[in-house]
Amino acid sequence: MRGAKMRNIGFYALAGALLASASAAHASDKRDFENCDGHIHPGKQSDGMRGKANRQSYPMFSSPGQWTDVAACTRALASPRLLATQNLRKAHLLRARAAKYLQDGQAANAIADMDAAESTMAGLGDNVFYQRSMGASLSLLRAIALIQSDKIDEAAPLARAALEARPYSLALLNGAARILQATRRAGDGSTSPWFAALALEPGLAATAVLSEAELGNFAAVIALSKGAEVKWPTLPVADYGPDSRENSNSLFLSLMLSIETAYAQAATGDALGAKATLAAMKEKMAPAMAVPTDKQGVAIASQTRDILQRFVEGNEKQINARIAIAEGRTNDALAMIIGAQLPRNAATFDLMTALIDALPEKDRSTSLDVTPILKDIAERRKKDLDSLIPALLFAPETPRSVVDYDKARPNILGALVGGALSMGFSLLGGIERTDGFRSTANADGTTTVEFIGNTPSAALVQEMTLLRAAELTKAAGMSHFVIMDRNDFSRYLQTTRNGIPISSVETGFKTELVVRFLADGNNAERSLDALNIIDALGPLYYEQKSK
């Protein structure tokens, strides 16, 4: 009996160990979903799209891969937790894996996953909510895969189709602009895709200028630079200190904008304008490039300042050479670039091409080969799209997930009706709310419109805020408005351990727009037609109330 008892104990211990092992595997199976697409396991929900998982704050708790784990996606897709009816979640997992493949340069694998995702969602192909979210996302991701596969001409139509499906989404406009930029060629005469994005986010002007400069569309650089905000630092740049990074970054961006604008002016024949831009740049950069001294009067060295100075000198030489060509001083231009280390960018390509054209045929050197420059530019444009991929994973939308626009308004209007009629307040001004709309009339004639909501995605909050701005424009008897400034926020629920943050999960979003109402949009850059916005977005939000 004793022996039998011992054998039984051994059996139960072994069985317990096996069960514990199975339980651990089962638990980790849940994590596969989180480590793939960022949502908790699907459970029994009809579409499988349960809430977002906590974002881990420490590497020791982080999942493999920075934002998606291919192996986890593969296991999740094969997991019995994923029910056969949960097609949206399956497509969501396939899209996440496709995105990771794209970042790894595996375009063929990415396209296969996107094909599978679209096949899974075939029944929703005509659904407006699918087209605006997952459909548009897959189109943009596929466009990147085509660019990676050197099928440039096939990528642009996909980006344009995504824009037609959702013309007022900031993330989509930004993504489509960068994709379309990668499909364009210098001097092709096409309109810059950045103008539409700037109407929603004027803060993208600097990105737009640098993007057009990278392509060599110098006329667009000049047009876009007028709206780019330049913030020159007033303190000397330093290697260390609380403001050192901010000062250095601000100075570098300001220098880049001035340099690209000056070169564009020279390249388009405006030599005087290029000289004036360079002179203004030197004047503005002087405080930041000043050499401070310590208490003993000894100059304080700064490697950052030295690097920026060399950067300015190299680019200034390039600009002056282009000015010389514009002024017909070809020999001066040639002397300036002999032995110079010029970057392999669109400006150098333009400079070398202009120089070759300006030289007498007998003096044209076969050593001035610009082909490698074009190759480098194309490769950089491809790599630039890698950083865009995570932003294109738009949250799926369904009629169930779209927040009822109207439900945020009646309570506010009811609470404010007396004040609005008797005191002349703006429709939503003065109401403190955790969630919902609010507007405030500003002293400079602009109006701040904001919305805070617990919605599935930031894009919904951004669109609802834009729609509210359009409503207020019409209520003010105006037809158009311009977004002067905007801020977008995410709200997180943070988990701490011993006072130290260890994870967080998004719980809501907020968008704040500063707008100016206009009687018409004929003479205003970046103006938005209020009625067009209401016609495009109203049916998506207004009609939800009756469903």
Higher pLDDT, 47 or 411: 47
Show the 3-state SS of 399-423.
CCCCCCCHHHCHHHHHHHHHHHHHH
Average pLDDT over residues 416-430: 33
Q: What tokens does 165 get? A: 């499906």
Residue 469's CB is within 10 A of a number of other CB atoms, namely: 25
Please say if the pLDDT value at position 350 is more than 50.
yes
SS3 526: coil
Helix, strand, coil % over all residues of the chain, rounded to 5: 60, 10, 30
- 30 to each of 38, 57, 168, 450, 467, how far by Cα in Å? 11, 19, 36, 37, 39
- Bridge partners (DSSP) listed for residue 483: 515
- 181 to each of 62, 202, 268, 333, 384, how far by Cα in Å? 34, 18, 20, 30, 11
Show the CA angle centred on residue 166, arms to residues 527 and 398, nearest 5°: 135
pTM of the model: 0.80
- Separation of alpha carbons 54 and 75, rounded Å: 20
> Among candidates 537, 532, 544, which has minimal Cα distance to 479?
532
Instruction: Return the domain boundaries, the chain.
Output: 32-188, 230-368, 406-546
Give per-residue pLDDT as tens, 269-298. 999 999 999 999 999 999 999 998 888 888
Identity of residue 446: T
Give per-residue pLDDT as tens, 468-525. 999 999 999 999 999 999 999 887 666 667 777 666 666 778 899 999 999 987 777 8
Q: What is the structure's pLDDT at 435? A: 56
The answer to whether residues 83 and 105 touch, using CB atoms and an 8 Å cutoff, is no
Split at pLDDT 50, 70, 90, the class of 365 is: low
Percent of the chain at pLDDT > 90 equals 46
CA atoms within 13 A on the CB side of 514: 11
Which distant-in-sequence residues (6+ apart) come within 8 Å of 83 by Cβ?
Answer: 42, 44, 48
Check residue 38 and report its DSSP letter: S
Identity of residue 336: M
> Any idea of the CA torsion for 129, 130, 132, 137, to the nearest 10 degrees?
160
Query: What's the chain's average pLDDT?
Result: 81
- Bridge partners (DSSP) listed for residue 494: 504
Please say if the pLDDT value at position 27 is more than 60.
no
> Among candidates 537, 531, 502, which has minimal Cα distance to 518?
531
Please say if the pLDDT value at position 531 is more than 60.
yes
Please say if the pLDDT value at position 23 is more than 80.
no
Give per-residue pLDDT as tens, 247-256. 888 999 999 9
CATH topology of domain 32-188: 1.25.40
Please say if the pLDDT value at position 546 is more than 60.
no
Please say if the pLDDT value at position 149 is more than 80.
yes
